[in-house]
Amino acid sequence: MKKTFVNLEQLQEITQKHPTPFHLYDEKGIRENARRLKKAFEWNKGFKEYFAVKATPNPTIMNILREEGCGVDCSSLTELMLSEAVGFNGHEIMFSSNVTPVEDFKYAKKMDAIINFDDITHIDYFNNIAEMPETICCRYNPGGDFKISNAIMDKPGEAKYGFTRSQLTEGFIKLKNLGVKHFGLHAFLASNTTTNEYYPELARILFKTAVELNRETGAHISFINLSGGVGIPYRPEQNPADIMAIGEGVRQAYDEVLVPAGMDDVAIYTELGRFMLGPYGCLVTTAIHEKHIHKEYIGLDACAANLMRPAMYGAYHHITVMGKENLPCDHKYDITGGLCENNDKFAIDRMLPKIDVGDLIVIHDTGAHGFAMGYNYNGKLRSAEVLLKEDGSTELIRRAETPADYFATLNFTDFMKKNLF
């Protein structure tokens, strides 16, 4: 059984100040997890985690991770601006984007962020708009299927990202001629995997490729970015990834591949989002409606606009009916929101304790790609974000949207403005 990081009494107190729905984050859990990751890779002197801002773009959360020694991975102009406002600068920022607008590259260069080229054509594209930095990273896509022990983990050959192997050699030579002195290598080959073998297997691929590129081009490879992909156990029967075992597996690959090649100064970077934040956030909602037709339905005051993963992917998120954790799960429900879409369901045919209108419902593991993927379809307003601090107090770190926010970008006549506002 999955446990919540708050109990019913705490939530009842919190909801007196912050009406549901809202995303709640656990500061203590976030800090402890960041420290575990750092410890798992402490064998590498240059190790740094670049938190994937897209997972949870909230300045308070980002600042907690900054205090724990993390950098940030950005993929857009606004994520760069947000990171700058929080206090990140220079090589604390990795800029990994694709189909990149000119203004995004210019802003990344102005901030002296480490730029991670997604495509060989980006070299000339960037060189025409800004001076090439001395440090550049390139994203590698080996193509085909990515396998671990003959099991297909994902299909890089169908992904839109990265250089081919031959393009890496061509690109490194071209970048050296343009004045680049230090290179990084990056790849993302599987998503949300909890197997401990993923990072070590990815590391071996990147380490061997780095050795080959060094021999072929003479390029100094200063870091290798293992990207994200380490996942979390959304289902209660799943086992979590063991970050200490993962770190040890990468160390063994490092010692076997890079050290003999005289490349023992290579720093290891990661850019995790889901692993860093996923389990340390939840969506707190209230049951506001029940419906008895061909199926039993419970309607919440949250909807897919607050958490779209179940509607978009059919993703599983565990659900706890607060105060009824020890009661038998003897009722079958579809748990729904109020959008005019039939896929607006947080759970289908889920066995749960009897739910009554007014019950507080916690939807687990929304700390990453939860609020961030929100939207305003049907005129639904995005919810608040609340931080449960280490001392047990709470802080509103993003207020809920209002109708004024929803209408703010529209061009109304003065008459309409008077009637609406």
DSSP character for 9? H
Point out which residues pair with 74 in neighbouring strands: 95
C-alpha pair distances (Å), 305 with each of 55, 286, 352: 16, 15, 23
In 3-state terms, what secondary structure has residue 184? strand
Contact between 305 and 283 under an 8 Å Cβ cutoff? The reply is no
User: What are the structure tokens assigned to 369, written together?
Assistant: 């790609």
Q: Give Cα 209 distance to the centre of its chain.
A: 26
303 catalytic? Reply is no
Among candidate residues 137, 138, 303, 340, the one labeled active-site is: 340
User: What are the structure tokens assigned to 82, written together?
Assistant: 């947000």
Alpha helices, H only, 41-101: 59-67, 77-86
Nearest in space to 117 (alpha carbons), one of 186, 50, 203: 186
Strands 48-52 and 71-74: parallel
Whole-number Å distance between alpha carbons of 168 and 44 = 25
Sign (positive or negative) of CA dihedral 272, 274, 280, 282 = positive
Whole-number Å distance between alpha carbons of 82 and 54 = 11
In 3-state terms, what secondary structure has residue 370? coil
Whole-number Å distance between alpha carbons of 260 and 304 = 51
Q: Give Cα 200 distance to the centre of its chain.
A: 20
Cis preceding-peptide flag for 200 (omega within 30 of 0): no
Active-site residues, by number, are: 340
